[in-house]
Amino acid sequence: MNRINFLELFPPMKRINSGPTAFRMMQPDTPSDSELIRSLLAGNEQALATLYGRRQGAVYRFVLQMSGSHTMAEDVTQEVFMALIRGDAQYDPERGSVAAFMLGVARNFVLRRLRYQQSLVPFEDQTEESQASHVVSADGPLDQLSRSETIETVRRAVLSLPPHYREIVILCELQEMSYAEAAVILGCAVGTVRSRLHRARAILIEKLRPVKEEDAPDAEARSARCFA
């Protein structure tokens, strides 16, 4: 199967144009994220509003992609900014960007909530391989699905990954972060990010294979065309 086009799963973030217009927009007096954090800790409401406008969308999308829940995304996004206001989450410029720092805070909140939810639901101990076989049914190969249904199937596959693989896919594939940035957020080595992402991609490909092995070669080619 060709590499999955993860960016189709969620609306991409708008990038700032690097041309002359962008240069005019970024005036010298435009405060950096670090400066905004210092200002909001001093009680500057405008700094909070500016930082919220810049970073709320990325935090919300990360939580939504991790949980599949709009309600959790809204709640955790609010918790992240409240943690900043209270000073519960201390930003260290030496450790990386404000964007990475905020996703790290969001990660801690969402993993805590997911662990709590898991404790309330009976858990059937399955291997990754046995879980994979239930994502796509034998009577519904990807070539028979509409494009929107195919994307939804991949969304479910991402959400079914164990959290330590799911967050890697979301950070590196959906949020388009570098291995180094992801490593800062997760508090691990860059090599660990690479190996987890490699494994996560392999699990996803396995999850998206039809159950009937004899149909695998044709289904694989057809599913690749779905993402072309």
Which is it for the CA torsion 37, 89, 105, 113, positive or negative? negative
Mean pLDDT within 43-58:
92
Residues 76 and 63: beta-carbon distance below 8 Å: yes
**Single pTM value for the model:** 0.65
Average pLDDT across the chain, whole number: 75
Distance in angstroms (rounded) separating the CA atoms of residues 95 and 103: 13
Distance in angstroms (rounded) separating the CA atoms of residues 81 and 88: 10
The secondary structure of residue 42, as a DSSP letter, is T
In degrees, to the nearest 5, what angle opens at C-alpha 151 toward C-alphas 169 and 205? 50
Q: Is the pLDDT of residue 37 over 80?
A: yes
Query: CA Rg, the chain, in Å?
Result: 20
Residues 205 and 157: beta-carbon distance below 8 Å: no
Q: Is the pLDDT of residue 204 over 50?
A: yes
Residues 161 and 203: beta-carbon distance below 8 Å: yes
What pLDDT sits at residue 161?
Answer: 92
Q: Which fold has domain 124-228?
A: Arc Repressor Mutant, subunit A (1.10.10)
Distance in angstroms (rounded) separating the CA atoms of residues 128 and 115: 18
Per-residue pLDDT band for 200 (boundaries 50, 70, 90) equals very high
What is the domain partition of the chain in residue ranges?
33-123, 124-228
119: its two tokens: 């404790």
pLDDT tens for each residue of 60-74: 999 999 999 999 999
Distance in angstroms (rounded) separating the CA atoms of residues 194 and 100: 17
Per-residue pLDDT band for 181 (boundaries 50, 70, 90) equals very high
Per-residue pLDDT band for 116 (boundaries 50, 70, 90) equals confident
Mean pLDDT within 114-121:
76
Hey, which CATH number is domain 33-123, 1.10.1740.10, 1.10.3720.10, 3.30.420.10, 3.40.50.261? Answer: 1.10.1740.10
